[in-house]
Amino acid sequence: MSTIGTAVHSLELRVRRGIRVRGTVQGVGFRPAVFRAATARDLAGFVRNDSEGVWIEIEGSAGALSRFLEELPGTAPPLARIEATEIVELRALGELEFRIAASAERPSVRAIVPPDAATCDACLRELFDPSDRRFRYPFINCTDCGPRYTIARDLPYDRARTTMAAFTLCARCRGEYEDPSSRRFHAEPNACPDCGPVLSLSGTGLRGEAALAATVAALRAGRIAAVKGLGGFHLAADARDQAAVVRLRERKQRPHKPFALMARDLGQIEAIVELEEPARRALASPVRPIVLCPRRAGATVAPAVAPGLDELGVMLPYTPLHHLMLRDGPELLVMTSGNLAEEPIAKDNAAALERLAGIADVFLLHDREIHTRADDSVARIVAGKAQPVRRSRGHVPEPIELGFSAPPVLAVGANLKNAVCMTRDGDAYLSPHVGDLDHLETFAFFREVIGKLEQLLGVHPEVVACDLHPDYVSTRWALECGLRTEPVQHHHAHLASCLAEHGRIGPSLGVVFDGTGCGPAGELWGGEFLLADLAGFQRLGHLRPLTLAGGEAAIREPWRLAAAALHDAGLTLDLLGRIDRKKREAVLRLIETGAASPKATGAGRWFDAVAALCGLRDEITYEGQAAVELEAIAAPGECCSYPFRIERSDPFIVDLRPAVRAIGAELANGAPAGEVAARFHRTLAMAIGAGCGIARERSRVETVALSGGCFQNRLLSESAKRLLEQDEFAVLVHGRVPPNDGGVALGQAAVAAWRSRQVKGGNDVPRHSR
Ligand SMILES: [Zn+2]
Ligand SMILES: [Zn+2]
């Protein structure tokens, strides 16, 4: 036999390399992809997961090996993200086969459960292939796609620790699961019609295709369906059926807040909105977020979908069930979170049947349990890039690297749009969207999500970071949890979240514009020019405050802010003649006496005031409504602005009273509201530019981070960024976490982690005032 001879012969020609691959490379089908690439080139060796990522040893002819290395980045499956590779030379061993080796003994300390991913193209082809054994099977998935985070109970991520443990793999599915050459090798949620989850229509006994057909028929007939999805229930209705959409609004007690749409394909989406390239990319990414896009003139969508707005929130199907529904049923559906008002999205069959009983006519259920709920993520294109408005399903639990190590920190976030954040080593893990903590149900989810993050990351926090606001439910929870707390001022946290997502520590200037947050002495802040690093901050300037006549009432009724702005500018309330005289006079008295009427610098309040001055809206039904509508009517291409002045005190004060006088005069002369809206946006952008100029003089810092909910406003963000860049500032905007309160927990975590690191290392980094 010549076997030995061949081996010895090949040893002389063969080379061997060790390859270290770091990044998101576990649980995403990376090893089988390497296996297929190596065997295709007749290379030998092994690939295995370990605590640092993936380790490959590969051997064969020098030519084949170098081609393998060249092609490795392209070999990586869609969900993998290679952050770094290192290659070392090894001595050839004469191995003849390539294998997937068992994971290294030591449990992976950096391993995480991957985010959920939209159905891949290969699965989609099988889904609609009549000869495939998974033809029209609503739970088809593979290593490139399917549920992950939402079904994971514990680490390490394998089937036994997911909600798929309840389903025993049939022989064929097991064969795929164990075959390294299969696309379903270690696809933990692997399933087929013989062994996997099944659809059912509640109260009817209908299952599978029959349940789906009945749901589609109901939607076509204008009824409302509750549909169990990936991270929770949706409420679905035909988006072209005005009566159905209006009924959904009434039952959901949501008069105005826009509904998201799901369309059969990109063509359908393109028929109703203008699609820019970044929007198209975001829509088709495995995250499949809702993307807010400019509505096309004449789009055939029920008016009740997004009343008063010039944008529609659209998304593509991201589960096999969605693809089937939209293929069979109406090609454009309202798909809104299955909840009442601001409660968390329903995830369990029993809870959905109870809580959505008054809303949905039919309930399409299935028997794969959702372990952790995750709402749809929402993005908007700002300055040519997708910016998260809500970061949830598809993103979670992807880490954000802080770039330094610290003891584990839990950050509990703000009160509205709450999300929490946990750090492990140098990585920060933001939770799915939790919501408005004033709701009891949401607070329960808040506690649940903290427990689940601890479980999935295998850490216990040593420090709890929280807001300074004593009335935030999250802050109260932090102060009572028994761990060391690290209070972080709200706007400092916003700025820090922007620094953290860019891997920065500071110092940086920051313009933080939002509704209202608590200053260090309990003042109401929200129009802030800060100088900060992760350790601390200094307030360099702010907007001149407005009186909130009647406190919270002023936030619900923007005309009260318009009254305060007029009064402060020395004008009468004549522009608000439409408001009942008694009410006007009562509010004027509140403004004059200051009784129960605190002053606030919040930039968001200025949008409210100007929206009311324009006669756009006197009362709101959802947070930020007046501001969103003001942006919606702003005339495109407007380049005029209003005067403002800056008082060069310390901190400096941006005084918008001259702008209010000019707006008052223009409106009195019958100027169109759209022009006033556009000019006001531009004025604010110029005020940002001027304020940053002074901040740079005083600090010598030339980087500006833009954060806070107001920077969800595309018009404001883009014009502020442009003006600052013209003035040679380096501008940081959000791209990975929302500028709104949904990103605050990341900033809190970064600040607390950095401060804890200082305590530990004893470093003496200069600190600004807190
Ligand atoms: Zn797939
Ligand atoms: Zn099966």
Report the alpha-carbon distance of residue 385 to residue 410 in Å, rounded: 29
Q: Which of 260, 289, 501 is nearest to 395 (CA)?
A: 289
Cα angle 343, 388, 356; round to 5: 20
321 alpha carbon – ligand 2 mean position (Å): 17
**Burial letters for 693-730: b for 16+ Cβ neighbours within 10 Å, e otherwise?**
ebbbebeebebbbbbbbbbbbbbbbbbbbebbeeeebe
Mean pLDDT confidence for 557-569: 97
**Cβ atoms of residues 437 and 473 within 8 Å:** yes
54 alpha carbon – ligand 2 mean position (Å): 29
Backbone phi, psi, residue 648, to 5°: -85, 50
Those residues whose beta carbon sits under 5 angstroms from the ion ligand 2 are: 170, 173, 192, 194-195
In this structure, what token pair is assigned to residue 138?
């609503």
Ligand positioned closest to the Cα atom of 124: 1
229 alpha carbon – ligand 1 mean position (Å): 17
Listed in order, strand segments (DSSP E) in 348-420 are 362-366, 378-382, 385-390, 400-401, 409-411
Mean pLDDT confidence for 43-47: 93
Q: Residue 237, exposed/middle/buried by CB under 10 A (0-12, 13-18, 19+)?
A: buried
226 alpha carbon – ligand 2 mean position (Å): 27
Report the alpha-carbon distance of residue 39 to residue 99 in Å, rounded: 9
Q: Is the pLDDT of residue 631 over 80?
A: yes
193 alpha carbon – ligand 2 mean position (Å): 6
pLDDT: which is higher, 10 or 687: 687
Angstrom CA distances, 176 to 121, 142, 156, 419, stand at 18, 10, 21, 38
138 alpha carbon – ligand 2 mean position (Å): 13
**Cβ atoms of residues 706 and 718 within 8 Å:** no
pTM, full prediction: 0.90
Mean pLDDT confidence for 460-472: 96
Q: Is the pLDDT of residue 9 over 90?
A: no
145 alpha carbon – ligand 1 mean position (Å): 4
**Cβ atoms of residues 118 and 288 within 8 Å:** yes
**Cβ atoms of residues 57 and 16 within 8 Å:** yes
197 alpha carbon – ligand 2 mean position (Å): 10
Question: What is residue 626's predicted lDDT score, i.e. its pLDDT?
Answer: 92
Q: Is the pLDDT of residue 360 over 90?
A: yes
Query: If residue 234 lies in a helix (H) or strand (E), which one and from where to where?
Result: strand 233-238
**Cβ atoms of residues 659 and 642 within 8 Å:** yes
Q: Is the pLDDT of residue 314 over 80?
A: yes
The count of C-alpha atoms lying within 13 angstroms of the C-alpha of 207, restricted to the half-sphere facing its C-beta, is 5
191 alpha carbon – ligand 1 mean position (Å): 12
Ligand positioned closest to the Cα atom of 134: 2
Question: What is residue 79's predicted lDDT score, i.e. its pLDDT?
Answer: 82
312 alpha carbon – ligand 1 mean position (Å): 29
Which percentage of the chain shows pLDDT scores above 90?
A: 81
Q: Is the pLDDT of residue 67 over 50?
A: yes
pLDDT in tens, 485-527: 999 999 999 999 999 999 999 999 999 999 989 999 999 999 9
125 alpha carbon – ligand 1 mean position (Å): 9
**Cβ atoms of residues 480 and 486 within 8 Å:** no
Q: Is the pLDDT of residue 548 over 70?
A: yes
**Burial letters for 10-39: b for 16+ Cβ neighbours within 10 Å, e otherwise?**
beeebbbbebebebbbbbbbbbbbbbbbbe
Report the alpha-carbon distance of residue 725 to residue 739 in Å, rounded: 19
Residue 371 banded pLDDT, cuts 50, 70, 90:
very high
Of 306-310, 621-625, 644-648, highest mean pLDDT: 644-648
Question: What is residue 529's predicted lDDT score, i.e. its pLDDT?
Answer: 98
Identify the weakest region by mean pLDDT among 25-29, 362-366, 532-536, 557-561. 25-29
Ligand positioned closest to the Cα atom of 184: 1
Mean pLDDT confidence for 283-290: 96
Identify the weakest region by mean pLDDT among 107-116, 360-369, 429-438. 107-116
Mean pLDDT confidence for 403-415: 95
Residue type, 80: A
Residue 109 banded pLDDT, cuts 50, 70, 90:
low
Computed over every residue of the chain, the mean pLDDT equals: 93
Q: Is the pLDDT of residue 761 over 70?
A: no
Ligand positioned closest to the Cα atom of 125: 1
Q: Is the pLDDT of residue 766 over 80?
A: no
